[in-house]
Amino acid sequence: MIGVIGATGHLGNVLTKELIKRGFKVRAIIPQGENVAHIKDDQVEVYRADITDLSVITAAIAGLEYVFHCAGIINISSGNKDLMYRVNVEGTKNVIKACISNNIKRLIYTSSVHAIAAPDKGIIDESREVNPDKVYGFYAKTKALATLAMLESARSDLDAVILCPSGIIGPFDYKTSEIGQLILDFVNRRLKAYIDGAYNFVDVRDVAAGHINAMEKARRGEIYILGGETISVFDILTLLESITGIKKPKIKIPYCIAYAISPFTPIYYSIVKTKPLFTTYSIKVLRSNANISSKKAITELNYSFRPVRETIRDAYCWFKEQGKI
């Protein structure tokens, strides 16, 4: 049996379904209160556990062969730092200890490309440094710290592999990611202006397949970047306009103005009760180097990714099928 920690998240639920499709039985390890309707299956055993409790997560992992650790707090706003650190760093260290004590064959950890110190120019690949002092934002720092802990364990007691996806998007977005929120805001005509910029986005289905390939093919203690294609916010909106017939916003907010007012946007999003889109962190990311290489994963893991425009179209269709549009 294979364990998926964070099985109700965007990547976790798609990974769980893909594992079942390939004939594996899955133990879905999730926190209390999570809705499991979208992962219900005869081949799925639900185990509710808190990764910040070592004894609890050790019991949850008992009897498994392989473990995928996809759980984490992903927050592009500035809040929840204490919780983010406890889950992303201390929780990951607990997962490492639990896997060692249970003699797990391999732990596959979902880090982030943001854990890698990116240069202002040039290619971002696995040769770049993982250094929490050289990445931007608290989320990236927590992923860098957890990645370093994973690398250290792989040098001693644990067969561990680290995967670093770029921006994950696509269908089966039950908790509504940032790009998912952008699609919903666009279709519901709540998007009155936009901030241009671009980033590298990857389909959640391709990341899930990459994880399974890593379980079977990756080299112990190695980092693999799972990227996709770079697309601008303007091109995303243009694509959505062509799909829906809804005109994209004409107002583009200059970067300097957007960055200046970004510290106050969480107040606005809390009032309108939607997921934050344009925060200080996200604006910075959209203007950062997105020249991400997945060559290593393509070569060693047989990794591949589909066109980002296909992914955005599929995400829109999925939201429509779910009645959210």
Q: Which residue has the tokens 């829906």?
A: 244
Helix, strand counts (H, E) of the chain: 13, 12
Question: pLDDT (tens digit, 9 = 90+) per residue, 226-237?
Answer: 999 999 999 999
State the average pLDDT for the chain: 92
Closest Cα partner for 226 from 126, 140, 120?
A: 126
Q: Is residue 263 situated within a structural domain?
A: no
Closest Cα partner for 94 from 219, 102, 11?
A: 102
128-137, 193-202, 249-258, 261-270 — most confident range: 128-137
pLDDT classification of 290: cutoffs 50, 70, 90: confident
Query: Would you say residue 249 has pLDDT above 50?
Result: yes
Kindly report the backbone phi and psi dihedral angles of residue 223, in degrees, each rounded to the nearest multiple of 5, phi listed first.
-105, 135
Q: Determine which of 1-10, 171-180, 226-235, 274-283 has the lowest per-residue pLDDT on average.
A: 274-283
Query: Would you say residue 60 has pLDDT above 60?
Result: yes
CATH number at residue 46: 3.40.50.720
Closest Cα partner for 181 from 315, 321, 38, 11?
A: 315
pLDDT at 274: 59
Average pLDDT, integer, range 92-109 = 98
Q: Is residue 267 situated within a structural domain?
A: no
Q: Is residue 212 situated within a structural domain?
A: yes
Q: How far is Cα 23 from Cα 111, in angstroms, rounded to an integer?
A: 26
Q: Determine which of 22-31, 78-87, 306-315 has the lowest per-residue pLDDT on average.
A: 78-87
**Contacts (Cβ under 8 Å, ≥6 apart) of 135:** 114, 115, 116, 117, 118, 141, 143, 144
Q: How far is Cα 263 from Cα 193, in angstroms, rounded to an integer?
A: 17
Query: Would you say residue 262 has pLDDT above 80?
Result: no
Q: Which residue has the tokens 């927050």?
A: 75
Q: Is residue 321 situated within a structural domain?
A: no
pLDDT classification of 23: cutoffs 50, 70, 90: very high
Q: Is residue 34 situated within a structural domain?
A: yes
CB 56 within 8 A of CB 67: no
How many structural domains does the chain have? Answer: 1
- CA 231, 180, 84, 105 dihedral sign is negative
CB 64 within 8 A of CB 3: yes
**Residue 156, domain extent:** 2-170+201-227+291-306
Q: How far is Cα 81 from Cα 75, in angstroms, rounded to an integer?
A: 9
Q: How far is Cα 58 from Cα 156, in angstroms, rounded to an integer?
A: 19
CB 128 within 8 A of CB 116: yes
Q: What are the angstrom distances between the C-alpha of 26 and each of 107, 145, 193, 206, 209? A: 14, 28, 43, 19, 15
Average pLDDT, integer, range 288-306 = 95
Query: Would you say residue 276 has pLDDT above 60?
Result: no
Q: Is residue 235 situated within a structural domain?
A: no
3-state secondary structure of 133: helix
Query: Would you say residue 208 has pLDDT above 50?
Result: yes
Query: Would you say residue 188 has pLDDT above 70?
Result: yes
Q: Is residue 179 situated within a structural domain?
A: no
Closest Cα partner for 151 from 138, 164, 160?
A: 160
